Chains A and B, each alone.
Chain A
Amino acid sequence: MNPVNYLYLSALLFTIGGVGVLIRRNAIVVFMCVELMLNACNLAFVTFSRMHGNLDGQIFAFFTMMVAAAEVVIGLAIIVSVFRARRSASVDDASLLKL
């Protein structure tokens, strides 16, 4: 199959994730959308790796997964503590940081 199709899929997933980050209020969903964007990137990396015939993209995908794992740990911890304090997981409720 033509590898370019994977790139289209990657772009589609990234867009879905991006729109999700921008329009969803629930912090968990926003979080999942971020993961979706990261994985879209991973897909693109791997595809490029295949297209160019070297392993750089695949190695980069591993790095991304590791960063994503770390991010999930910290991000979920923040979301849980915010939820404990406010009884809400909506990102718009936490809007005190303004002038």
Chain B
Amino acid sequence: MENLIGLLVLVPLLGAAVLLCGGRRLDRIGPWLGTLLAAASFVIGVVLFAGLLGRSADDRTLRVTVFQWVPVGGFRADIGFQLDQLSMTFVLLITGVGSLIHLYSIGYMAHDARPRRFFGYLNLFLAAMLLLVTANNYLLLYAGWEGVGLASYLLIGFWQHKPSAATAAKKAFLVNRVGDMGLSIAIMLLFTTFGTFAFQPVLAGADRTGEGRLTAIALLLLLAACGKSAQVPLQSWLGDAMEGPTPVSALIHAATMVTAGVYLITRSGPLFEGAPDAQLAVVTVGAVTLLFGAIVGCAKDDIKKALAGSTMSQIGYMVLAAGLGPIGYVFGIMHLVTHGFFKAGLFLGAGSVMHGMNDEVDMRRYGGLRKYMPVTFITFGLGYLAIIGFPGLSGFFSKDKIIEAAFAKGGTEGWILGGAALLGAAITAYYMTRVMLLTFFGEERWRKPPSPQEPSAEPAAHTGELPHPHESPKVMTIPMVVLALGSVLAGGLFSVNDAFVKWLEPVTGHSEGHSPVSAAAVTGATLAVLVLGVALAWAQYGRAPVPVVPPRGSVLTRLARRDLGQDDFNHVVLVRGGGQLTRGLVEIDHKLVDGLVHGTAVSVGGLSGLLRRLQNGYARSYAVSMFGGAAVLIAATLLMRAV
């Protein structure tokens, strides 16, 4: 059974190789082949899951070493896999949601010129992501980590003929590099500290290591997680990544890849538990990001960017939970899974809407679509209810638990974190209701022709004719229905008898915190802010007609439209600062380094010009130097003898 783990990674990798190298022969069957292989890896995942379930709770870890990768002296890196409950959860999420999105893409990319390549990249992504979560050591995890970064780059820039997509891909790659740098330094530190990369000895040895060392490692891992999971301060790439095709946004930039940071933190749990300062940094990043993303999500008129802000915010919840330690890990992962369902569903719904609306993304040009796209409306609506935490749906169970765990952190910290999480829940309800109302309710604003003087209109999106909204084909709606079912049921199923907690407990550990606020009070408060957020959004966007041209808005709105100045900040501090720095370095290079080199050359030249005069061609003067030299030598010899 252990050998199946290798196969799990190998199947999509094979798909990627075949699809990318196969040439045009495969153009017609390529999409189906890619989907089939994704489904095959899902089946393998289910078989492995059944195998794990068949074992006792403490014995649910499969380990296998395939071969030694780099054996050099004391340095050993193996290609080895480790499948435990945490990895298994990820494997099922990745292959399950991945297969559904492959299926959806068949419909979505039907009119694209290069679907074979698209599916090749998707398979490559699946392989890298599976490698990331099943690796048994940090170096192999790093390989997967870079692999998903590459796949993300290729897929964001899939429509590379659009300059905006090419730029967005480059931006995502560069910002991710910053995080990757953190991960690579952390891995080097791990090796110098523990002498190995493998999870087992590293995590077992964490409590015998100095706190300073652990803090350094944990902070670097956090940097890596920030890059991959779009957390403040490395969050700026996620909004632009929406330039990629919508299935990519659903799979990579909502459900799976961006959660790799949460996986990394949870997996490295013992390292973080040994470093309270780093844990504080983690919860701070999580709390700041969950508010940051939510605020950005409120102001965006682009449906995908609003959802991207929401993704950022929800991952903020997960990071917050992961930073809380054993009281939070389980709920962070649970929220990750439920989020995988409803956010992928929401993105697929958004893609379906765009599909029927001539690729229009501006929500102010939607409205009243529920009549035209009933399936999309219902599935999107269920995803919406799940994300805002409507009682009984997935988001309610997972998010509620995180808020509770945040309060249970105790002390002032607990109140601040819990308050931030509650506020986040209110804003989530607000912006998701806004998206819902703008898209599916209200008057049909897409009937108005776009006014020519409107500055915000994207020229590419408008072909001049009015869109004819229509429901998407079955191949697209079926995955949406399945994901919607997942969004509705997952949270409840996980919470029956605390099934999910019991499943993950052996890996992550679990401890009940003592919340200063009772669980019922937290639930009550969550529901209260939920109603508040929905009501506010309804008052603003449901009751009053929505202008097609966005109003100027308050200072906060305008700021949030600019992503709270994250790009401006990066531009001023990093781009311009970096420019200044490099110009300074160039100056130093020219003046100091080149000056030294040129100065040496000039002084040698001058000196030799002086020495040249000695060569006057007169034999007698040469004879003088010989005599003089001999005299000096003799004198020196005598002197040395005398001394």
Q: B616 touches which one: A22, A25, A30, A98 (CB < 8 A)? A: A98
Q: Digit string of B494-530 for contact with A (CB within 8 Å is 1, else 0)?
A: 0000000000000000000000000000000000000
Q: Digit string of B592-635 for contact with A (CB within 8 Å is 1, else 0)?
A: 00000000000000000000100111111001100100000000
Are A92 and B627 neighbours in the complex by a CB distance under 8 Å?
no
Are B620 and A92 neighbours in the complex by a CB distance under 8 Å?
yes
Q: Count the A residues whose beta carbon is within 8 Å of the partner chain — how many?
A: 14
Q: Which residue of A lies closest to B619 (CB)?
A: A91
Residues of A53-99 whose CB lies within 8 A of B: 91-92, 94-99
Q: Which residue of B lies closest to A19 (CB)?
A: B627
In the complex, A30 Cα to B615 Cα: how many Å? 20
Q: Digit string of B399-429 for contact with A (CB within 8 Å is 1, else 0)?
A: 0000000000000000000000000000000
Q: Which residue of A lies closest to B613 (CB)?
A: A99
- Is the CB of A36 closer than 8 A to any CB of chain B? no
Are B624 and A95 neighbours in the complex by a CB distance under 8 Å?
no
Chain B residues near A23 (CB-CB < 8 A):
620
In the complex, A97 Cα to B618 Cα: how many Å? 8
Q: Is the interface of B mostly helix, strand, loop or mixed?
A: helix
Residues of B173-219 whose CB lies within 8 A of A: none
Chain A residues near B627 (CB-CB < 8 A):
18, 22
In the complex, A18 Cα to B624 Cα: how many Å? 10
Instruction: Indicate the member of B615, B618, B624 with the most A CB atoms within 10 Å.
Output: B618
Are B616 and A95 neighbours in the complex by a CB distance under 8 Å?
yes
Chain B residues near A91 (CB-CB < 8 A):
618-620
- Is the CB of A43 closer than 8 A to any CB of chain B? no
Chain B residues near A97 (CB-CB < 8 A):
617
Q: Digit string of A26-39 for contact with B (CB within 8 Å is 1, else 0)?
A: 00001000000000
Instruction: Indicate the member of B612, B616, B617 with the most A CB atoms within 10 Å.
Output: B617
Residues of A1-23 whose CB lies within 8 A of B: 18, 21-23
Are A99 and B612 neighbours in the complex by a CB distance under 8 Å?
yes
Are B615 and A22 neighbours in the complex by a CB distance under 8 Å?
no
Q: Which residue of B lies closest to A98 (CB)?
A: B617
In the complex, A98 Cα to B617 Cα: how many Å? 5
What is the CB-to-nearest-CB distance from B319 to chain A, in angstroms, rounded to a whole number? 75
Instruction: Indicate the member of B612, B615, B616, B620 with the most A CB atoms within 10 Å.
Output: B620
Chain A residues near B616 (CB-CB < 8 A):
95, 98
Are A95 and B618 neighbours in the complex by a CB distance under 8 Å?
yes
Q: Which residue of B lies closest to A27 (CB)?
A: B619
In the complex, A22 Cα to B618 Cα: how many Å? 11
Chain B residues near A99 (CB-CB < 8 A):
612, 615
Are A92 and B618 neighbours in the complex by a CB distance under 8 Å?
yes
With contacts A18-B627, A22-B627 taken as known, whether A96 is within 8 angstroms of B620 at the C-beta atoms is: no
Are A94 and B619 neighbours in the complex by a CB distance under 8 Å?
yes
What is the CB-to-nearest-CB distance from B612 to chain A, in angstroms, rounded to a whole number? 5
Residues of B560-587 whose CB lies within 8 A of A: none
In the complex, A12 Cα to B616 Cα: how many Å? 30
Chain A residues near B624 (CB-CB < 8 A):
22
What is the CB-to-nearest-CB distance from B640 to chain A, in angstroms, rounded to a whole number? 22
What is the CB-to-nearest-CB distance from A37 to chain B, in angstroms, rounded to a whole number? 11
Q: Which residue of A lies closest to B631 (CB)?
A: A18
Q: Which residue of A lies closest to B611 (CB)?
A: A99
What is the CB-to-nearest-CB distance from A15 to chain B, in angstroms, rounded to a whole number? 11
In the complex, A21 Cα to B619 Cα: how many Å? 10
In the complex, A30 Cα to B618 Cα: how many Å? 13
In the complex, A25 Cα to B619 Cα: how many Å? 10
What is the CB-to-nearest-CB distance from A28 to chain B, in angstroms, rounded to a whole number? 14
Are B620 and A22 neighbours in the complex by a CB distance under 8 Å?
yes
In the complex, A12 Cα to B492 Cα: how many Å? 121
Q: Which residue of B lies closest to A23 (CB)?
A: B620
Q: Which residue of A lies closest to B612 (CB)?
A: A99
In the complex, A30 Cα to B620 Cα: how many Å? 10
Are A95 and B617 neighbours in the complex by a CB distance under 8 Å?
yes
What is the CB-to-nearest-CB distance from A25 to chain B, in angstroms, rounded to a whole number? 8
In the complex, A99 Cα to B616 Cα: how many Å? 7
Are A21 and B623 neighbours in the complex by a CB distance under 8 Å?
yes
Chain B residues near A30 (CB-CB < 8 A):
620
Q: Digit string of B458-500 for contact with A (CB within 8 Å is 1, else 0)?
A: 0000000000000000000000000000000000000000000
- Contacts A22-B624, A96-B617 known; 10 new A-B pairs at CB < 8 A: A18-B627, A22-B623, A25-B620, A92-B619, A94-B617, A94-B619, A95-B616, A95-B619, A97-B617, A98-B616
A selection of 21 A-B contacts at a CB cut-off of 8 Å is A18-B627, A21-B620, A21-B623, A22-B620, A22-B624, A22-B627, A23-B620, A25-B620, A91-B618, A91-B619, A91-B620, A92-B618, A92-B619, A92-B620, A94-B617, A95-B618, A95-B619, A96-B617, A97-B617, A99-B612, A99-B615
Q: Which residues from chain B sit less than 8 Å from chain A, CB to CB? A: 612, 615-620, 623-624, 627
> Which 5 residue pairs spanning A and B have beta carbons closest together?
A98-B617, A95-B617, A91-B619, A99-B615, A98-B615
